[in-house]
């Protein structure tokens, strides 16, 4: 599945991932390959990305390393998943 994370300043990540967990306003939820289409508002927390993640040098300092991937702290945002493509608009 393909993930794109965009902030007002820059596109932080584009690439294939195994799973993405996000902080929904009523709790965290995770998306895997072939997840049903969804649009949701995000709250404060971490976007948790699993897979073989390669970060660009200029944005790598925004992410935290985790056991099986990386985490990106966010204050709020929105997410859309459709046809195995996830777009996160994060603040």
Does the pLDDT at position 68 exceed 90? no
pTM over 0.75: yes
Residue 66: band (very low, low, confident or very high) from pLDDT cuts 50, 70, 90? confident
Does the pLDDT at position 70 exceed 90? yes
Asked if 86 and 19 touch (Cβ cutoff 8 Å), the reply is: no
**What domains can you pick out in the chain, each with its CATH number?**
2-90 (2.60.15.10)
Does the pLDDT at position 72 exceed 90? yes
The structure tokens listed for 91 are 């603040």
| CB-neighbour burial class of residue 55 (10 A; exposed 0-12, middle 13-18, buried 19+) | middle
Determine what percent of the chain is predicted with pLDDT higher than 70. Answer: 100
């Amino acid at each position: 599945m393909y993930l794109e994370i965009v902030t007002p300043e820059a596109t932080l990540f584009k690439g294939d991932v195994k799973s993405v967990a996000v902080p929904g306003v009523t709790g965290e939820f995770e998306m895997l390959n072939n997840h049903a289409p969804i649009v949701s508002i995000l709250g404060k927390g971490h976007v948790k990305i699993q897979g073989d993640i390669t970060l660009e040098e200029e944005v790598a300092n925004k992410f935290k390393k985790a056991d099986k991937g990386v985490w990106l702290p966010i204050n709020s945002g929105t997410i859309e998943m459709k046809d195995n493509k996830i777009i996160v608009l994060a603040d």
